[in-house]
């Protein structure tokens, strides 16, 4: 006697680039609703799978199919909107459904047995959140009443009244977070089961955000209604947050880009803070844009979406142009408390002493501020300025043996390290080529800047009659768990007078006593080959400047005005004129006109085909063959997509692998999508013919060319 069986369609984790169908058929004794998590055999392993479409037929005997192992019964099926989202993401970003769907689940879910999961679920507090009795009174007691500014009020009213999507274009310090809080409260009050998702670009911004949300909402909906979701959490924490979101127990999910793929059955609102930030684009696996998926997901389920920024991406700015009208633009020009935006002080470095890293007038300005008890922030745009070792006698440089990049000098542990492949070696005592013992560092990293600044300020005494303190925050000082938090706390407490740092310190932080911000080496981005470099630099300088003078009352008490100092060799560059006027719209208009003339995004759509191979020649050969194959096969969309010739990547060789890429561009997103989808099988076929190719990948809407 054999048991009755029904066939089930199940999504399993297939390798991203295998051409194997990601949906396999398995047999089970009863039909299961789509979205059910199951454990199934795959090859010699047992893996987590997700039942996909509705079961077809019943009762027929299918001995050739392998059987479903176990059903994770305690868990409600992943809802249809979630399945539509991952299916769309897989299709749009040209990856397998199995990879995208399964990698969107918390890793520990993939390992738990059905029993282990049941036990885990039993430990969770009850499903529906019960508001604490007397919550309303607690609310008025604990949190200060915030009266929205006129700008905030009108933005909030528009969000309440219209469907969106919204681009909240608000100056730094205009109180965008307060508008998010209002919108979240409105959405969650309107529907007692509704959920909101709030995305931030950096993991280290989540604690600060969580604190603000808890202060406001813990009393209303209970502490378990708010969860965070990001990759720095332990697997157990991540599973817990994910389950809370999936069961609907979490009403508010705060997270980084990965949170966009969480299961949120009652999603009513998505907020994408600092929407212009490049870290919303995933840079490996399925290279999705969490911001773009947020807009798609919101529309798909009828949720609202708010994209917020002081310097929106040109894509979003264009979409919110009234003539285009895809997004509704909400403008908040004024700072809270009538605070001033920082005045720009451009220093022409050609007029400064030769080899000065800090122009004397900047040092004078910092000194004055520190003496008055104010804080300063010195920003280094790290790219390309990390210190390398150099021999003046023979020209030797500390090149990485495995990459076309230079190893960077790390003073703290006296090593040379490659920032691309990670390989490290001790600093040589003498030049390895000519034996010259006098090898020098060229270029400056944050470490050198910190030292030099401390030296320049060594005689400065603060108002509290102590020596000025200089500190540094960058990837090196924050490697240890909790280090960044501790360092930021010192800054907030006023234990530090001048903070030197990379991009990391420019983003989001609400420093109350910083009155001067200086960018010391921003020029690299002015003439970069990447067409997005000016956009990034403008955003970075506006963001950084936005850290100065955030507390209007403090500024008044100090009788101080915020300043943004920029040291440049090109003070005449138009970017600085727009920066001086805090005039993002002028900057954007100019950039968009240039992009339109050159047919670049957002006026065209791009994708990259990248190949990694043992030699540069092999990588480029593969790309050329791929492009030839597409032409010969006359793939759909071909006539509307331009294929550029292959070129090496800026960092051409990493860990002994040569990298090349080919740009595809089209005025029509649809044509590009059709071509990419039809191309996949040809690419698999080419790959088998090009044995020296290590891997290939497609990057849709790439962030950097
Ligand atoms: P943004 O995100 O736009 O840079 P924030 O939301 O961080 O600005 O707000 C800047 C500061 O102003 C914060 O300290 C915030 O608490 C305060 N703030 C925001 N809105 C108000 C308001 N309506 N009344 C008083 N303070 C406010
Ligand atoms: Zn030498
Ligand atoms: Zn290397």
Extract the tokens encoding 389: 């070792």
Question: Is the CB of residue 286 less than 8 Å from the CB of residue 100?
Answer: yes
| pLDDT for res 20 | 55
Which range, of 17-21, 495-499, 633-637, averages the lowest pLDDT?
Answer: 17-21
Res. 521 pLDDT band, cuts 50 70 90: confident
Token code pair at residue 470:
């200089």
C-alpha dihedral sign at 172, 509, 250, 137: negative
Judged on CB neighbours under 10 Å (0-12, 13-18, 19+), 381 is: buried
Distance of CA 407 from the midpoint of ligand 1 (Å): 42
The pLDDT assigned to 81 comes to: 97
Confidence tier at 334 by pLDDT (50, 70, 90): confident
Q: Which of 439, 50, 507, 82 is nearest to 259 (CA)?
A: 82
Q: For 40-77, how does the pLDDT look when each residue is reduced to its tens digit (9 = 90+)?
A: 988 888 889 999 975 454 444 455 788 888 888 888 99
Helices (H), 127-198: 135-142, 150-161, 176-190
Helices 616-632 + 669-689 axis angle, to 10: 120
What distance in angstroms lies between residue 436's CA and the mean position of ligand 2's atoms?
Answer: 5
Using the atom order of ligand 1, give the atom closest to the CA of residue 336: 12
* Nearest one of 244, 198, 190, 252 to 221, comparing CA atoms: 252
Least confident of 156-160, 263-267, 275-279, 466-470: 466-470
| DSSP secondary structure string for all residues of 335-380 | PGGGPPPPEEEEEEGGGSPTT-SS-HHHHHHHHHHHHTT-EEEEE-
| Domain 6-123 sits in CATH 3.90.330.10 | no
pLDDT (tens digit, 9 = 90+) per residue, 459-506?
A: 888 888 888 899 888 777 777 777 778 888 888 888 899 998 887 788
Q: Which atom of ligand 1 is nearest to the CA of 148?
A: 23
Task: Report the chain's mean pLDDT, rounded to a whole number.
Answer: 87
Residue with the bigger pLDDT between 55 and 643: it is 643
Please say whether the beta carbons of 129 and 222 come within 8 A.
yes
**Architecture of the 133-337 domain:** 3-Layer(aba) Sandwich (3.40)
Give the number of the atom of ligand 1 that is nearest the alpha carbon of residue 180.
Answer: 6
Give the CATH fold of the 605-700 domain: Alpha-Beta Plaits (3.30.70)
Give the CATH number of domain 339-383+445-597. 3.40.50.300
Characterise 328 by phi-psi region: left (phi > 0), alpha (psi -120 to 50), beta (else). Answer: beta
Residue 415 CA to residue 389 CA, distance in Å, equals 11
**Helix, strand, coil abundance in the chain, percent, nearest 5:** 35, 20, 40
Radius of gyration of the chain, Cα coordinates, nearest whole angstrom: 28
pLDDT score at 556: 85
Between residues 623 and 536, the one the model is more confident about: 623
Confidence of residue 451 (pLDDT cuts 50, 70, 90): confident
Domain ranges of the chain: 6-123, 133-337, 339-383+445-597, 386-443, 605-700
**Ligand 3 geometric centre to CA of 400 (Å):** 5
What is d(CA 698, CA 705) in angstroms, rounded to the nearest whole number?
Answer: 13
Give, in order, the Cα–Cα distances in Å from 637 to each of 120, 600, 630, 668.
49, 18, 10, 9
C-alpha distance across the termini of the chain, in Å: 62
Ligand 1: residue whose CA is nearest its atom 22: 148
Q: CB of 545 closer than 6 A to ligand 1?
A: no
Mean pLDDT of 314-324: 96
Over 80: is that where the pLDDT of 294 sits? Answer: yes
DSSP 464: T
Quick one: pLDDT at residue 49? Answer: 93
- pLDDT for 134 equals 37
DSSP 61-74: --TTSPBP-EE-TT
Which one of 146, 147, 177 would you pick to mutate in the ligand 1 pocket, going by the greatest count of ligand atoms within 8 A of its CB? 177
Strands (DSSP E) contained in 615-680 are 642-643, 647-654, 657-666
Q: What is the pLDDT of residue 532?
A: 87
Tell me, yes or no, if the two domains 6-123 and 133-337 fold the same way: no
Q: Single out the residue of 114, 116, 44, 51 nearest to residue 80, CA to CA.
A: 51
In this prediction, residue 423 has a pLDDT band, given cuts at 50, 70 and 90, of confident
| Poorest-pLDDT segment among 122-126, 388-392, 435-439, 674-678 | 122-126
């Amino acid at each position: 006697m054999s048991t009755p069986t029904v066939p089930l369609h199940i999504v399993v984790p297939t390798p991203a680039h295998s051409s194997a169908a990601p949906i396999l058929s398995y047999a089970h004794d009863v039909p299961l609703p789509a979205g059910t998590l199951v454990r199934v055999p795959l090859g010699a392993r047992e893996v987590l799978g997700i039942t996909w479409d509705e079961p077809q037929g019943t009762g027929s005997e299918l001995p050739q199919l392998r059987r479903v192992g176990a059903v994770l019964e305690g868990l409600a099926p992943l809802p249809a909107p979630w399945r539509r989202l991952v299916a769309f993401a897989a299709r749009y970003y040209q990856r397998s459904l199995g990879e995208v769907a399964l990698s969107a689940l918390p890793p520990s879910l993939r390992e738990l047995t059905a029993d282990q999961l049941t036990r885990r679920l039993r430990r969770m507090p009850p499903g529906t959140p019960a508001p604490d009795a007397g919550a309303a009174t607690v609310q008025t007691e604990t949190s200060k009443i915030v009266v929205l500014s006129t700008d905030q009020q009108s933005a909030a009213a528009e969000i309440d009244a219209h469907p969106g999507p919204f681009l909240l274009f608000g100056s730094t310090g205009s109180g965008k977070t307060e508008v998010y809080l209002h919108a979240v409260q409105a959405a969650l009050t309107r529907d007692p089961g509704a959920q909101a998702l709030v995305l931030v670009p950096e993991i280290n911004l989540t604690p600060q955000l969580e604190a603000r949300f808890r202060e406001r909402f813990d009393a209303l909906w209970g502490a378990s209604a708010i969860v965070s979701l990001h990759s720095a959490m332990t697997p157990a924490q991540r599973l817990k947050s994910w389950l809370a979101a999936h069961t609907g127990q979490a009403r508010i999910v705060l997270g980084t880009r990965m949170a966009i793929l969480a299961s949120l059955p009652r999603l009513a609102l998505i907020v994408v803070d600092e929407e212009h930030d490049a870290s919303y684009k995933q840079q490996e696996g399925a290279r999705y844009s969490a911001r773009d998926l947020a807009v798609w997901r919101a529309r798909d389920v009828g949720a609202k979406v708010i994209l917020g920024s002081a310097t929106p991406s040109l894509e979003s700015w264009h979409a919110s142009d009234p003539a285009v009208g895809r997004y509704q633009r909400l403008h908040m020009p004024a700072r809270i408390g009538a605070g001033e935006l920082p005045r720009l002080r451009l220093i022409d470095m050609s007029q400064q002493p030769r080899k000065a890293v800090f122009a004397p007038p900047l040092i004078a300005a910092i000194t004055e501020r520190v003496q008055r008890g104010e804080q300063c922030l010195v920003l280094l745009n790290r790219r390309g300025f990390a210190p390398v070792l150099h021999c003046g006698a023979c020209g030797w440089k500390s090149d990485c043996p495995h990459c076309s990049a230079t190893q960077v000098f790390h003073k703290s542990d006296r090593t040379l390290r490659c920032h691309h492949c990670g390989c490290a070696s001790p600093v040589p005592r003498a030049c390895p080529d000519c034996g010259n013992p006098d090898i020098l560092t060229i270029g400056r990293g944050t470490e050198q800047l910190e030292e030099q600044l401390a030296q320049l300020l060594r005689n400065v005494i603060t108002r509290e009659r102590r020596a000025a303190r200089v500190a540094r925050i960058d990837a090196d000082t924050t490697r240890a768990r909790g280090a960044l938090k501790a360092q930021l706390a010192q800054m907030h407490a006023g234990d530090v007078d001048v903070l030197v740092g990379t991009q990391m310190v420019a983003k989001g932080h609400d420093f109350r006593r910083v009155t001067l911000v200086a960018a010391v080496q921003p020029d690299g981005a002015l003439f970069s080959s990447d067409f997005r470099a000016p956009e990034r630099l403008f955003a970075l300088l506006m963001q950084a400047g936005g850290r100065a003078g955030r507390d209007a009352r403090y500024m008044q008490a100090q009788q101080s005005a915020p300043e943004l100092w920029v040291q440049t060799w090109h003070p005449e560059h138009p970017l600085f004129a727009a920066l001086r006027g805090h005039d993002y719209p002028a900057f954007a208009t100019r950039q968009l006109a240039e992009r339109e003339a050159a047919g670049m995004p957002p006026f065209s759509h791009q994708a990259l085909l990248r190949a990694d191979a043992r030699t540069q020649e092999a990588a480029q050969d593969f790309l050329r063959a791929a492009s030839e194959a597409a032409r010969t096969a006359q793939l759909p969309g071909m006539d509307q997509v331009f294929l550029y010739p292959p070129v090496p990547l800026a960092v051409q060789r990493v860990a002994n692998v040569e990298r090349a890429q080919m740009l595809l561009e089209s005025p029509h997103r649809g044509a590009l999508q059709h071509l990419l989808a039809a191309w996949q099988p040809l690419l698999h076929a080419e790959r088998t013919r090009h044995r020296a190719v290590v891997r290939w990948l497609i990057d849709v809407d790439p962030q950097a060319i």
